[in-house]
Structure 1
């Protein structure tokens, strides 16, 4: 790894140790993160990312400095992107961790931030040529909790789902809640298309409150496409016209098949085009 990282406003070599001993995210998962797309050398959709991050800090009873804002992190991120010579496509990881100290009971609720920036092959959102093969992840269910919608550093269920998808020879496994509702992919939100209408699990059912999920819902509504938040079952997948996934880096991900069911991709193509119109 070359280039730099940003730790609390200081640029440090990316190939040196830069996380302090006692870091609570490392010890306890006591932190949050955002993964942010870079297009034309600039971070996009930062208002939505910072809104989720700010709400997550409040939910975790963290006390960020008064100067934290979307514009503050935009300046910090874009400086790092420039230092790392990312002129077109890139991806950024912004972490906020509670400051070191204490055991399960922290000594402080103040925070540190840490930013990484990497090149990304594409400078626009590109729909995958080969559709994903998906199935259900049955081993672990996700809790419906007040923290479910935030990107906390407790990500083991997603890691295990990804490992299981590799073992099963599929591209992704869909995670379920304890009510057996299908709520999201291993690193993505879920949308089902039937008769030109979008359906996606509601946030009250336990999925991540994805920033790309929010964008796609807003773009769809702006273009006269109906969207409903509801429970998604395996039966819904079997009768759908299309299924696609979304995340901040890839945008829209076309799903070709769930078991023996195959899907089209016209809605996924249309939304990818509209997404690029918004940012390019």
Structure 2
């Protein structure tokens, strides 16, 4: 079952040949982790979605409140949970609904929400081998649209194919200034001594909800200093640790980049702090 514009249905009757999300990438989405019928970091997801819709000049309905957003997500999960499973991944896609070509005839929106079951409730730590490489066929453009989660993800798609073909678990994307922007599906953090760096939004990375959570945890950490600063590819092999973050995986340590093998202690510590924060919120 899926949620299409507030209705739980088995299949969508949306017309792809007229759907602007399909035709022009005129859509944004949120990927949410739902635990025990609660949307983790609900407020951050909602306000990022609202901000993205405003930037794209979509017309936001008056009823599209945070409570409505949460209600639609939970309604979907409950409709697909006869066995009382407790953890889900929900993708909530908002598209501009209407005719037109590049110029839309209306600014109204529609949405579709889909789900997947997750095997683990809280975030788990894995130090299994996880090797990355730079993806240099295409570059991320360092501007505001790159911060949004739109349905135009061709760099991420082609980069994922490159990673699979070369037996990498992920790739790091480079922006047009030749600095690291992010991973294929996650934000990047670099640990060197007692300083943890992550690329600033001005470098073109997605404005990740988990990125925000990890920045807050590091800011409060008694041992480490957080810096939002450009990361050169030359810094990667000098780092003590590298790890990736998103709302579904939490924190994924990178164990190898080229000839460098990395530690995972900071990532492990932050996963524990992240799960402690979630328990306090529940």
String of CA shifts for 1:25-83, please: whole Å, max 9, x gaps: 01111000000011223221111111111111111010110121222111111111111
Where does residue 43 of structure 2 map in the other structure? 47
Where does residue 18 of structure 1 map in the other structure? 13
Query: What secondary structure is seen at the aligned counterpart in 2 of 1:268?
Result: helix
Cα distance in 1 for residues equivalent to 2:135 and 2:155: 10
Cα distance in 2 for residues equivalent to 1:241 and 1:124: 26
Where does residue 59 of structure 2 map in the other structure? 63
Where does residue 229 of structure 2 map in the other structure? 230
Cα distance in 2 for residues equivalent to 1:17 and 1:70: 24
Segments of structure 1 that go 5 or more residues without pairing to the other structure are none
Where does residue 72 of structure 1 map in the other structure? 68
Cα distance in 2 for residues equivalent to 1:259 and 1:50: 38
Where does residue 92 of structure 1 map in the other structure? 90
Query: What secondary structure is seen at the aligned counterpart in 2 of 1:227?
Result: strand
Cα distance in 2 for residues equivalent to 1:76 and 1:57: 18
Q: TM-score, normalised by structure 1?
A: 0.95
String of CA shifts for 1:141-193, please: whole Å, max 9, x gaps: 01112211000010010001110011111111100001100110010000000
Cα distance in 2 for residues equivalent to 1:70 and 1:250: 24
Segments of structure 2 that go 5 or more residues without pairing to the other structure are none
Query: What secondary structure is seen at the aligned counterpart in 1 of 2:34?
Result: strand
1:20 Cα deviation (Å)? 3.1
1:17 Cα deviation (Å)? 3.6
For residue 171 of structure 2, the aligned residue among 173, 177, 186 is: 173
How many residue pairs end up in the alignment? 275
Q: TM-score, normalised by structure 2?
A: 0.95
Matched, 1:5 2:2: yes
8 Å contact from structure 1 (residues 192, 243) kept in 2: yes
Cα distance in 2 for residues equivalent to 1:43 and 1:118: 14
Q: Which of 117-126 and 183-192 deviates more?
A: 117-126
8 Å contact from structure 1 (residues 41, 87) kept in 2: no
Cα distance in 2 for residues equivalent to 1:152 and 1:121: 27
